[in-house]
Amino acid sequence: MKPIKISVIVPTYHRNDLLAKCLDNLSPKIQTFPSEEYEVIVTDDGAKTTAKQMICDHYPWVKWVAGPRKGPAANRNNGAEYAQGEWLVFTDDDCVPQPNWLNAFAKETKGEALALEGAIHPLGDPKQDMAECPINLTGGWFWSANIAIERALFEKIGGFDANYPLALHEDVDIRERLYVFTTILFVPEASVFHPVRLIPLKSAISRIPKRCAATAYHLAKHRKDSSNQSVLGLTIFEFKYHLRHLLGGLRKGKIKFAYVSFLTIIIGTPVFFFYILMYSKSKQKFGKSD
C-alpha cells in the first residue's frame, strides 16, 4: 500500500448541509487522484451540533476530529496535527472541489515550490450588494479556501497563527511567512467553487469591532520600522482604506456596503486605534514563528 501523499483538511462549524456537498466531491468515486494516496480530515468546531454522526453514517472514509473552538486558524492547525500526508491541502466546508483538484495539486508537489494555491471560482453573483466570496482566478492571493503546503514546512513555520480569532488575514499572514522559505505556485487546474454569500446587514455591523481588532493585530505584526508605519500612520491608512470602500460602494450603488463602510469609519477607527496602540505598547511577540 502506497503511503498517504495528501491530507485534505476541512475545518467546519455548524454547516453540515454545505459540508456534505464538499465531502461528496472529495469522494474517491469523484476525485481522479488514487484513493489510497489521500485522506480527508474534518476538524469540527461545532458547539451546539457537530458533523460527527453525519460523517459516521455517510462518509466512513473521512476522519472526524473535534476542534479546539478557538477560531478558524486554530481549527486548521488542529486538523494538521492528525495528518499523515506529506502535503497538507486546505479547503473550506462550503467549497466544492472539482474532480481533478487533488490530482492537479499532486503533479506540482514534485517541483521546487513548497506551497501551492488553486483557483477559486464564485458560485453566484459577486457583484451583489453585501456579497462576499474569496475569488482567486490568477493567483497571488493564497486564500485558505484552496491552498496546499508541504507538511514539513508547515510545521517549521508553526502553522497558522492562532491569535487570529476570525477568518480574516490569517491566510495572508501565513503567505508572508512562507515567502521566506519558498515560492508559491498558482495551479489553476486545482480549482474549487465557492458560494457567494450575502452577509446580513445586522451581522456585518455587529462584527465591525472584531474585524477592526483583527486588522490591527495583523498590521501590528507585519508593520515596518518607518515613519508612515507609526500608530497614527497605520490608523490614517485604515481610515483611507474604508473611505475608498465607502465611495466605491456609493459609486456602484451598493448602499448597504457603503453604510457598513461608513460605520466602520465611525465605530471601527477608534477600535482600530485602541488595539494598534495596545499592540505597540505591549511589544507583543506575534505568532509561533517570531
pLDDT digits (tens, 9 = 90+) for 18-49: 999 999 999 999 999 999 999 999 999 998 89
Q: Is residue 257 part of a domain?
A: yes
* pLDDT tens for each residue of 141-158: 999 999 999 999 999 999
* pLDDT(290) > 50: no
User: pLDDT tens, 59-80?
Assistant: 999 999 999 999 999 999 999 9
Answer whether residue 288 is part of any domain. Answer: no
Mean pLDDT of 96-110: 97
Residues of the domain holding 107: 6-198
What sign results for the dihedral spanned by CA atoms 278, 283, 288, 290? Answer: positive
DSSP 8-state assignment for residue 267: I
Please check whether residues 148 and 270 belong to one and the same domain: no
How many Å apart are CA 261 and CA 184, to the nearest integer? Answer: 32
Domain stops at, among 172, 198, 224:
198
pLDDT digits (tens, 9 = 90+) for 198-226: 999 999 999 999 999 999 999 988 876 44
Say if residue 16's pLDDT is above 90. yes
Asked if pLDDT for residue 227 goes beyond 60, the answer is no
Distance CA 262, CA 169 (A): 21
Last residue of a domain, one of 166, 198, 230: 198
Domain boundary (178, 198, 218) is at: 198
Q: Specify burial of residue 205 (Cβ count, 10 A radius: 0-12, 13-18, 19+).
A: middle
Is 255 a domain residue?
yes
This prediction has a pTM of 0.93
CATH of the domain at 77: 3.90.550.10
Please report whether residue 290 resides in a domain.
no
Asked whether residue 213 falls in the same domain as residue 173, the answer is no
Per-residue pLDDT at 6 exceeds 80: yes
- Distance, in Å, from the CA atom of 279 to the CA atom of 287, rounded to the nearest integer, reads 13
d(CA 167, CA 45): 13
Task: Report the 10 Å Cβ neighbour count for 53.
Answer: 11
Helix axes 170-178, 208-222, angle to 10 degrees: 10
Residues 219 and 97 in one domain: no
Tell me what the pLDDT averaged over the chain comes to: 93
Give the pLDDT band (50/70/90) at residue 288: very low
Residue 81 C-alpha from the chain's centroid: 18
Per residue in 234-247, pLDDT tens? 999 999 999 999 99
Q: Inform me whether the pLDDT recorded for 138 exceeds 70.
A: yes
> What is the total count of domains within the chain?
2
Specify the higher pLDDT residue, 135 or 280.
135
Residues 6+ away with beta carbon under 8 Å from 20: 54, 58
82 lies in the same domain as 171:
yes
| pLDDT band per the 50, 70, 90 thresholds, residue 165 | confident
pLDDT at 284: 52
Q: What is the pLDDT of residue 286?
A: 54
